[in-house]
Structure 1
Amino acid sequence: MNNIHIIVPDLPESVVDGTVTTWHKKIGDTLKRDDVVVDIETDKVVLEIPASTDGILETILVTEGETVTSGQIIGSVRCAHNNTIPTTSSDQTKKNTSFEKETVLKQTVNLQAIGPAMRRFISEYDTETKIIKENDRSKNLTQEDIKKDILKTIKMPDKSIINQESTTPSPESRSETRIPMSRLRVKMAERLLKVKNTTAMLTTFNEVNMQSVISIRNKYGTLFEKHHGVRLGFMSFYVKAVVEALRRYPEVNACIDGLDIVYHNYFDISIAISTPRGLITPILKNADALSMSDIEKKIKELSIKGRTNKLTIKDLTGGTFTITNGGVFGSLMSTPLINPPQSAILGVHVIKDRPSALNGAVALLPMMYLALSYDHRLIDGRESVGCLGVIKDFLEDPHRLLIDI
């Protein structure tokens, strides 16, 4: 049998090293081709290393939490001869034990009265052989007989001990758990601190009446989902409104590079998504060319990939403007931090019914606060307030998107 090395793949550009986060298999475990063996976390994505062949995990050279680099050997797999995986000693022991239990059952019990489900129930206990032997071999044991005999042998805990344990404070209740920060969270912390220290960040606010958007979703939501296979959410409206606002205020879609200002002639919108690893911002490339259904499908795809650690560097590279939706967590208002090297970010929030002025009267309307954080080194108040006002106008009257006014 030959051994095949498990090697760290080429890491993404600008990523120097990674951290082994999870070994999904232990030494001696059998592997099938393409089974995920180990996860390696980088500053941007989690890389899953699959098995390249059938076999058995022979060695693990790097433990969880250690740092690795591209091309490093971190383990090996013993290939199965003729594509047949040998039975390990533990597997053989389980088979022998199962065979012995089955033999005892056949010798002592009328198996016609015991089905497969009952045999599985019996096999969960180590006392079944003793119980069966103590019964009359000539007796036709029923499932109920065996259950009663087995349950009699299970020792119930002393009630006084249970009461004592419930009233006595456990020392573990004041314990602490210390775990290392994930590489993604470390990198995110560094970037956020850099933003605060290197940008002149300000936030401007506005509020928007979401009644028109809600009415459109209520009227066409079912038909939209039936036709396109995806729900009509709020985010597609936000993206469309943002793209139109960025057309009118190109400074908000630009960035600073040294002493230069780079104006982007395209609209790659980053969407903030919360995952178990932390906040990530995958990108809707060329959002201006996407329809409402395309936007919703792409956001759904990126969200699933984010939750399952399937995002690639391509999904995360670039971006000219970011939208973050704290409203999904109930946030009423916030001051979002800029996603560098971008110069602005839009925060949308929870929609709440509030008394507001409508046509000279007070009405209860579904209102939402908008927050635009921007780098004052590049964007002045006129551009920031004007851009946010355009977003507000398009959300309050989405039909303007259709006639480009």
Structure 2
Amino acid sequence: MATEIRVPTLGESVTEATIARWMKSVGDTIATDEPLVELETDKVSIEVPAPAAGTLDEIAVQEGETVEVGALLGMIAAGDGAGKAKPETSQAGESSSGTKETQEATMAGGGKIVEVNVPSAGESVTEAQVGEIYKKVGDAVKTDEAILELETDKAAQEVMSPVDGVITEMVVASGDEVEVGALLLRIEQGASAGAAAPKADKPAEKEAPAAKKDDDGGRPPAPSAQKMMTEKGMKASDVAGSGKDGQVLKGDVLAALEGGAPSSPAEKPKAARPASPAEDGEREERVKMTRLRQTIARRLKDAQDTAAMLTTFNEVDMTAVMEMRKKYKELFEKKHGVKLGFMGFFTKAVCHALKEIPAVNAEIDGTDIIYKNFCHIGVAVGTDRGLVVPVVRDADQMSIAEVEKEIGRLGLAARDGKLSMADMQGGTFTISNGGVYGSLMSTPILNAPQSGILGMHKIQERPMVVGGQIVIRPMMYLALSYDHRIVDGKEAVTFLVRIKDVLEDPERLVLDL
């Protein structure tokens, strides 16, 4: 009985891929889950594993051809292939040699070798950077014990041990860039510390076949990337490759073009930073930006380049909210199990204002405006890894207690690096509280593609004129940054005034006024 090999689902927006290379030839014996063929899309390269053991009977498409999701790649003839696959470094490169190492380790140690790979981190996330590594080769690990940390564009997550055993090989080091599904380490299941025969941490890279190397010693650009570089007059050295062994993918070429890479041979790349004087250079420390920090930098700059950003200010007398908190904080915490903070009031006040001024809750898509008839409020949280913005979904349908509970959960997850992708997607408006750090006034940057962000600040007692008398009141400056392409000045000012009105008279929230 023959088994079909087909193009797997490649992500919501990806419909086709290019055959980068076949790792096996017709007639080769293969094992279940052994990598057979590498596909390259606009965003990432992936390996297609064998769905069954047997013999590769047919290759339906050749290297360089483009195929759609679900297309037939080849056929596997039934046979006793499991466990007998012979690694062929001339075709399979590192993937095949990894299979060989697993088999050798199994025979030497007597225990089952379990490979730990980069987990899926969300539909739009295809690669990550290895952060802190908690364990080393020879260390014993327990099931669900954290081994290392991965940083993606949007969050950090810990990789847990799937079994009890001993780490026999660590394939990556801190700072390495890895793709989803890539091998991180190997564990000998059931072994105890000292019993396993560990391999060296991150062994030297195995040589891929000479025919597959380019002039720089890495893998040649993917076919679609090479075609685009030829059209734009670019060289592989002009583009930073993100694929395996530094392979240049089509997405890398697009990113280089967007970032100002040379589009013709006559253009030269941007000059590197001049070297520091010797006496200063000795006291400098150069550290590569984390993927999260790179994404923060890119998104913030993109927001400035794209939106017609403007900021309007107001101030709010926090007396009523502070008195309400003081009066009910003990009863609130006793009933709901969470402290009554300011964020619950501000989140509900924002939802109230968004319903009246829907343009602030909308976004621009080309020549269309998308109005959101719901309020997913992002709450900016500063962590030691950088700024993240988890989202309180459907905050307009929550009570203040429910909002406080969700913000507490998200804040704790952010500080522990345990935010999921679902926690940070779909926000329609953002609140940034610089007041917790002592900020008195700021102009927050939009969280694209959103059209508005509210900046909260420090509560400070100031003399105010009330009813002809000078009194001391706890005041807070509010800042609303907005996209002037979609939000008019009148709407922005009205939005901020509505927030001020609700906070100075919180009963409005109860009466929906």
The answer for the alignment partner of 1:119 in structure 2 is none
Of the three residues 323, 337, 346, the one matched with 1:215 is 323
Cα displacement (A) at 1:72: 1.0
* Structural mapping, 1:270-281, within 5 Å: 270-281=378-389
The answer for the alignment partner of 1:184 in structure 2 is 292
The answer for the alignment partner of 1:25 in structure 2 is 135
The residue type paired with residue 361 of structure 1 is Q
Deviations 1:211-265 (A, max 9, x none): 0001101111111111111110001010111001001000000000111100001
The residue type paired with residue 35 of structure 1 is E
Cα distance in 2 for residues equivalent to 1:69 and 1:88: 28
The answer for the alignment partner of 1:305 in structure 2 is 413
Cα distance in 1 for residues equivalent to 2:120 and 2:472: 57
The residue type paired with residue 393 of structure 1 is D
Q: 3-state SS of the aligned residue for 1:14?
A: coil
The answer for the alignment partner of 1:367 in structure 2 is 475
Of the three residues 291, 303, 317, the one matched with 2:399 is 291
Cα displacement (A) at 1:357: 1.3
Deviations 1:144-190 (A, max 9, x none): xxxxxxxxxxxxxxxxxxxxxxxxxxx99x73322111111110000
Of the three residues 433, 438, 444, the one matched with 1:336 is 444
The answer for the alignment partner of 2:52 in structure 1 is none
Higher relative contact order (CA 8 A, sep 6+): 1
Q: 3-state SS of the aligned residue for 1:373?
A: strand
Of the three residues 120, 135, 153, the one matched with 1:43 is 153
Cα distance in 1 for residues equivalent to 2:157 and 2:179: 12
Cα distance in 2 for residues equivalent to 1:10 and 1:226: 40
* Structural mapping, 1:214-233, within 5 Å: 214-233=322-341
Cα displacement (A) at 1:11: 3.3
The answer for the alignment partner of 1:266 in structure 2 is 374
TM-score by length of 2: 0.61
Q: 3-state SS of the aligned residue for 2:387?
A: strand
Q: 3-state SS of the aligned residue for 1:241?
A: helix
C-alpha contact (below 8 Å) 1:80/1:86 kept by paired residues: no
Deviations 1:376-400 (A, max 9, x none): 0000011000000000000000011
Of the three residues 193, 197, 207, the one matched with 2:301 is 193
* Structural mapping, 1:70-219, within 5 Å: 70-80=180-190, 175-219=283-327
Cα distance in 2 for residues equivalent to 1:370 and 1:11: 36
Cα distance in 2 for residues equivalent to 1:175 and 1:88: 43
Gaps of 5+ in 1: 90-170
Cα distance in 1 for residues equivalent to 2:160 and 2:443: 41
Deviations 1:287-315 (A, max 9, x none): 01111111111111111100000100000
Cα distance in 2 for residues equivalent to 1:354 and 1:325: 20
Cα distance in 1 for residues equivalent to 2:174 and 2:331: 49
C-alpha contact (below 8 Å) 2:168/2:196 kept by paired residues: no
Cα distance in 2 for residues equivalent to 1:298 and 1:40: 25
The answer for the alignment partner of 2:179 in structure 1 is 69
Deviations 1:95-145 (A, max 9, x none): xxxxxxxxxxxxxxxxxxxxxxxxxxxxxxxxxxxxxxxxxxxxxxxxxxx
The answer for the alignment partner of 1:57 in structure 2 is 167
The answer for the alignment partner of 2:499 in structure 1 is 391
Q: 3-state SS of the aligned residue for 1:303?
A: helix
Of the three residues 385, 390, 393, the one matched with 1:282 is 390
Gaps of 5+ in 2: 1-110, 198-278
Deviations 1:313-363 (A, max 9, x none): 000001000000010001001000000110000001001110111112111
The residue type paired with residue 510 of structure 2 is L
Identity %: 46
The residue type paired with residue 73 of structure 1 is L
Q: 3-state SS of the aligned residue for 1:369?
A: strand
RMSD: 1.7
Q: 3-state SS of the aligned residue for 2:462?
A: strand
C-alpha contact (below 8 Å) 1:54/1:85 kept by paired residues: no
Q: 3-state SS of the aligned residue for 2:463?
A: strand
Cα displacement (A) at 1:66: 0.8
Cα distance in 1 for residues equivalent to 2:409 and 2:512: 29
Cα distance in 2 for residues equivalent to 1:251 and 1:88: 63
C-alpha contact (below 8 Å) 2:139/2:193 kept by paired residues: no
Cα distance in 1 for residues equivalent to 2:169 and 2:401: 48
C-alpha contact (below 8 Å) 2:155/2:388 kept by paired residues: no
Cα displacement (A) at 1:404: 1.6
More helix by share: 1
Max radius of gyration: which structure? 1
Q: How many positions carry a matched residue from both structures? A: 322
Cα displacement (A) at 1:402: 1.1
TM-score by length of 1: 0.77
Structure 1, 7-16 or 57-66: larger mean CA deviation: 7-16
